Amino acid sequence: MSNDENKELNEEAVKTAAVEGDNLAGEASTSASAETPEAQENAEAAADSRDARIAELEEELDRKEDKYLRLLSDFENFKRRSAAEMQASEKYRSQRLMVELLPVLDNFGRAFDAEVKSEDALALKKRHGDDLQVVLFRDGKGRA
């Protein structure tokens, strides 16, 4: 079968279904007019209860949507606050490290600026100067 034949068959099926739907609608309208007043009242009561239920469900949906939007907003605010706190924490962490290393740097400066007059002290300074740097650096790392 070609595409044209498929289209024609589909169009015929749609037309047939439309005609059958019209026939059923006509039968329903004639049977509805033949209903008794009591049946009409029951149908109206059922329609009213359906309408009330629909209104109730719509209100519940509105409440849940509102709750969802508020929760979503709270979560977005939480993410924003967390990101800001992490940035501040990172900034102050490096600042704290630098503040704690300042005494170590001061001690380095004092150790190397100390005037050494005797040859024994000069030899000791040359020999243990690197050890002094390591000790002072460890002291600074221990504080950080």
Q: Can you say how many angstroms the Cα of residue 132 is from the centroid of all Cα atoms in its chain?
A: 52
Instruction: Read off the pLDDT of residues 84-119 as tens digits, 9 standing for 90 and up.
Output: 999 988 888 878 878 888 887 787 777 777 776 777
Q: Which residues of the chain have pLDDT under 50?
A: 1, 28-29, 32, 144
Whether the model clears a pTM of 0.95, i.e. scores above it, the answer is no
Fill in the amino acid letter for 10.
N
Write out the DSSP string of the chain: --HHHHHHHHHHHHHHHHHHHHHHHHHHHHHHHTS-HHHHHHHHHHHHHHHHHHHHHHHHHHHHHHHHHHHHHHHHHHHHHHHHHHHHHHHHHHHHHHHHHHHHHHHHHHHHHS---SHHHHHHHHHHHHHHHHHHHHHHHHH-
Domain boundaries, the chain: 35-143
What is the predicted pLDDT for the residue at 142? 55
Q: Can you say how many angstroms the Cα of residue 122 is from the centroid of all Cα atoms in its chain?
A: 64
Token digits of residue 40? 């009409």
How far apart, in Å, are the Cα atoms of 4 and each of 1, 8, 12? 8, 6, 12
CA dihedral 30, 36, 37, 38 (to 10 degrees): -130
